Amino acid sequence: MSQNQVSQNREAVGQLARDVETIVSTTNQSDRTFASAVPVLKKSKLLVGAGITTVVGLSSYFMVSLLQPKITALPTSSTHPSISSTPGITAKFFYNRGLDKYNSKDYQEAIEYFGLALNIDSNHAEAYDNRGRAYYWLKNYQAAIENFTSVIKLKGDNANAYSWRAFSYHALREYQPAIEDYTEFIRLTGTSGKPCACGYKHRGDAYYDMKNYQAAIKDYTQAILLEPDNPNGYRKRGDVYSSQQNQQAANEDYQKAAELYQKRGLKKYNNKEYDGAIADFNEAIELNRNYAEAYYWRASVYGQKGNHQQALDDFNQVIRLEPDNPKAWRYRGVAYSKLKNKQAAIENYHKAAELYQQQGNTKEYQDTLEKLKKLQPEALSDSTYHKTCRNISIQGDILSATCPRVNGSYKSTSIQVLGIENVNGELKYNRNSRFASTYQESCQNISVKENILSAICRKADRTYSETPSSIEIMGISNENGDLSYQAQK
């Protein structure tokens, strides 16, 4: 609708309000529709979005109805406009406008539109129902109860009206009528098959708030039987057990709920419903602060959303709980890389590779090393990447050494470089070397200058086509054809 049309509508509605007010003041009209006409029309924003035909039709309806003698029905041949004959001026028109406002959470405006619909059709059950919900969200629980009661009078088999009225009673702490309505909701939903588990859960909540713990446990147990994959029943029952000081039973239910939240969160993660996944992982962690798997998957979601610091924090928790989890080390390396901390990323990739090798997971081990290669070329220009090694020796064609992390905060790790020999005090590539394992590296262009061993190393199995990566090991010297430790200067 153009701005000009909106202005025309506003002017038309405003003039209509003034005209109706003048006529009402000089007539004895008592119909409730007309009695409410002036305040409705004065609030012109209710109608400025309607088409000009609707505005004109509404104007005709009010004006003609006020000026004509009071009659119960118009002849079918009458040309006078009426609610049913005027385009758009029906209960449905106002009801739909109310739904739009309700869905946009503009509850007060929704209430006004539903009221207009009910002025036209006092038996409009859906208008009562949705107006009741709007009152509920505005915490006007008594008004909500009145509207849901009207729905029940019109449609006694409306299960949802019972549930919403129960919610309203519950919010007012009127537990007994709430329980009665929850019970009727359970009965009605069960007439066409299996009753809704939610009815048992909500009735269990009411029993719990009344401190009727045995009845609450019974209802939560029934909810679990109906929906065994829903964590809410276990969590609620755990709360009851906790209130009864039965901590063992409570912890069992909390752990089961945590597992179900984690499972549901993983499903949402796979469907790329990231916010919902985080919400479920949050619930799992709240129930079990040492739930490593929930931390891991929440970290993965944070990574997908680009929240790398939060991902790092969660991977820290996983490693605290499961220090031998190679996936946590690897993806913490990814988080460090995203945060531009390449040295920390390399350290984590190395640790992941080491753990994968120890666990015999060759595929993930090799994949991790390939990821590492992409980081190493830049890292090699940084002296903090170099390692100070000790216990260096050569046996046959194998160089062995024990190298701690540079910052000294990690356990030492052993390394072996395969395919070298000592000739005239220098390390050189031995083409005839046999490759003992895929972990060891076959190296060439090996040399020792001052206290630095340099080499270019390729994977021993030669299955990779990427450019070989350079390595440097600091803190060694060549003495009598052997490599030995020398303190770093």
**pLDDT tens string 115-140:** 999 999 999 999 999 999 999 999 99
- Can you read off the two tokens belonging to residue 266? 């993983």
HSE at residue 6, side-chain half, CA atoms within 13 A, is 6
More confident residue, 157 or 411: 157
pLDDT at 427 over 60: no
- For 183-210, write each residue's pLDDT tens digit: 999 999 998 778 899 999 999 999 999 9
Strand ranges of the sheet holding 441-449, from the earlier edge strand across to the other edge? 387-388, 469-474, 452-459, 441-449, 413-418, 398-403, 390-395
Say whether 84 sits in a helix, a strand or coil: coil
Looking at the DSSP bridge assignments, the partners of residue 479 are 482
Delimit the domains of the chain by residue range: 1-89, 323-382, 386-485
Q: Percent of the chain, pLDDT > 90?
A: 55
Structure confidence at residue 479 (pLDDT) = 38
What single string gives the DSSP state of each residue in 319-340?
HHH-TT-HHHHHHHHHHHHHTT
Q: What is the 3-state secondary structure (H, E, C) of 16-53?
A: HHHHHHHHHHCCCCCCHHHHCHHHHHHCHHHCCCCCHH
Q: Which residue has the tokens 């990814």?
A: 334
Mean pLDDT of the chain: 74
- Can you read off the two tokens belonging to residue 488? 């770093």
Vertex 336 angle, CA 331 and 339, to 5°:
130
- Taking residues 21-28, report their average pLDDT: 42
Q: Which of 153, 238, 240, 160 lies closest to 196, judged by CA?
A: 160
Contact criterion met (CB below 8 Å) for 132 and 151 = yes
CATH class of 323-382: mainly alpha
- Quick one: the chain helix, strand, coil %, rounded to 5? 60, 10, 30
Structure confidence at residue 85 (pLDDT) = 37
Q: Which of 211, 207, 141 lies closest to 220, judged by CA?
A: 207
- Can you read off the two tokens belonging to residue 115? 């009221």
User: Number of helices and strands (H, E) in the chain?
Assistant: 20, 11
Give the pTM.
0.60
Contact criterion met (CB below 8 Å) for 443 and 463 = no
Q: Which of 225-234, 239-248, 382-391 has the lowest mean pLDDT?
A: 382-391
HSE at residue 49, side-chain half, CA atoms within 13 A, is 9
Say whether 416 sits in a helix, a strand or coil: strand
Structure confidence at residue 285 (pLDDT) = 97
Q: How many residues does the chain have?
A: 489
- Can you read off the two tokens belonging to residue 313? 């924090």
Contact criterion met (CB below 8 Å) for 104 and 98 = no
Q: Which of 301, 284, 304 lies closest to 292, judged by CA?
A: 284
Range 254-263 burial, b when 16+ CB lie within 10 A, else e: bbbbbbbbbe
Structure confidence at residue 25 (pLDDT) = 45
Say whether 134 sits in a helix, a strand or coil: helix
H or E stretch covering 469:
strand 469-474
Contact criterion met (CB below 8 Å) for 81 and 53 = no
CA distances from 299 to 206, 250, 310, 334, 422 (A): 37, 27, 7, 11, 47
CA gap 208, 226 in Å, rounded: 20
